[in-house]
């Protein structure tokens, strides 16, 4: 499928801007996303094709304006809801609960 | 606000990723889908125990041992496993050799395929749009952004990784390193030289 993820040859994406001495993770939440994804992937909850497909279905604007681990987070939320492990309502409720606790 | 069907794409801005992953992790732990200890071990493995030092050891071995180098170029996955490096995102490896005639560089235009067992997790720029879009259309311009200039009569070959095959560049061994030990050589090998966006400078 042609889509925004198919970036080869596209113009206007700006400079590459490599970071010197870059850490493996830039924030604790990236670390958690990585762990949750590898654990659920390794646990056989989805395969690599589903993994990529879920990211490729992101809206173009959303895809380009979010970071790599946000793509992963979108993917794992989508697939774990689709396969029935959790529901979107449970996720929304848990997020609301945590937001309230943090406030 | 107009009424809309609530499907996959939320029209409201999503809440911040830290909160979202916390919610997801706590639900999955509660349901026993993931295990807290296993999660910490995964993170520790890829943050602290895997990285470009692995690939550098492979490169240094290939520089000092012609038989190993032959095996590495013929069966990358097997020769890398000999050094103890294997696992996800390294199941099928092709090692490409830089020479005076050919400079190789690696990209994943579609996503972020990268040889984890030898290089660890990829840097942000490797997974981001600028590198992925331009590595295939203007490789010499991209290399210039990394401060790398390749002679006009050297061919630049770009390898687009995919979920089935990952690449590791075997960089050119710099001049003036004849007497160096394998460990000393490994210490000179940079991550970018194994992606092909760097070259190794000769010792001063």
Residues of A in contact with B197 (CB under 8 A): 18
Question: Tokens 């990529």 sit at which residue?
Answer: A52
Question: Tokens 């006009």 sit at which residue?
Answer: B152
Annotated active-site residue B111? The verdict is yes
Return d(Cα B165, Cα A47) in angstroms, integer. Answer: 16
DSSP β-ladder status, B102-107 and B155-160: parallel
What residue spans of A19-84 are helical by DSSP H? 28-42, 48-56, 60-65, 68-82
Q: Which domains does chain A have, with CATH numbers?
A: 28-102 (1.10.472.20)
Tell me which residue in B43, B132, B197 faces A8 most closely, judged by beta carbons: B132
Q: Which domains does chain B have, with CATH numbers?
A: 22-48 (no CATH), 52-195 (3.90.330.10)
Query: Residue B178: which residues within 8 A CB-CB, separation 6 or more?
Result: none
Q: How many CB atoms lie within 10 A of CB B181?
A: 10
Q: How many CB atoms lie within 10 A of CB B4?
A: 9
- A1: pLDDT strictly greater than 80: no
pLDDT by residue (tens digit) across B116-163?
999 999 999 999 999 999 999 999 999 999 999 999 999 999 999 988
3-class SS of residue B57: helix
Annotated active-site residue B26? The verdict is no
Supply the pLDDT for residue B15: 65
Supply the pLDDT for residue B89: 87
Question: pLDDT band for position B8 (50/70/90)?
Answer: very low
Q: Which of A6, A19, A24, A25 to mutate to test the interface with B (most CBs of B within 10 A)?
A: A24
């Amino acid at each position: 499928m042609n889509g925004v993820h198919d970036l080869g040859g596209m113009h206007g994406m700006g400079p590459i801007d490599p970071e010197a001495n870059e850490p493996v993770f830039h924030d604790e939440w990236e670390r958690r996303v990585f762990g949750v994804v590898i654990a659920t992937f390794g646990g056989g909850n989805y395969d690599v094709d589903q993994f990529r497909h879920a990211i490729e279905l992101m809206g173009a604007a959303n895809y380009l304006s979010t970071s790599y681990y946000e793509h992963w987070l979108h993917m794992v939320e989508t697939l774990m809801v689709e396969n029935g492990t959790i529901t979107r309502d449970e996720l929304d409720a848990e997020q609301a609960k945590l937001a309230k606790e943090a406030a | 606000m107009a009424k809309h069907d609530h499907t996959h794409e939320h029209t409201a801005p999503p809440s911040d990723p830290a909160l979202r992953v916390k919610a997801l992790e706590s639900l999955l732990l509660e349901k026993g889908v993931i295990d807290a200890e296993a999660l910490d071990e995964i993170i520790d493995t890829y943050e602290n125990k895997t990285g470009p030092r692995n690939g550098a050891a492979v490169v240094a071995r290939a520089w000092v041992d012609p038989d190993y180098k032959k095996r590495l170029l013929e069966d990358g996955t097997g020769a890398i496993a000999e050094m103890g490096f294997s696992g996800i995102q390294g199941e099928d490896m092709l090692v490409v050799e830089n020479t005076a005639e050919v400079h190789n560089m690696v990209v994943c235009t579609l996503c972020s395929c990268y040889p984890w067992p030898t290089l660890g997790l990829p840097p942000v720029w490797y997974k981001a749009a600028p590198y992925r879009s331009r590595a295939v259309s203007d490789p010499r311009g991209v290399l210039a952004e990394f401060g790398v200039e390749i002679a006009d009569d050297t061919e630049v070959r770009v390898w687009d990784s995919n979920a089935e095959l990952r690449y590791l560049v075997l960089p050119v061994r710099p001049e003036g390193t004849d007497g160096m030990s394998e460990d000393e050589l490994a210490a000179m090998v940079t991550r970018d030289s194994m992606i092909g966006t760097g070259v190794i400078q000769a010792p001063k």
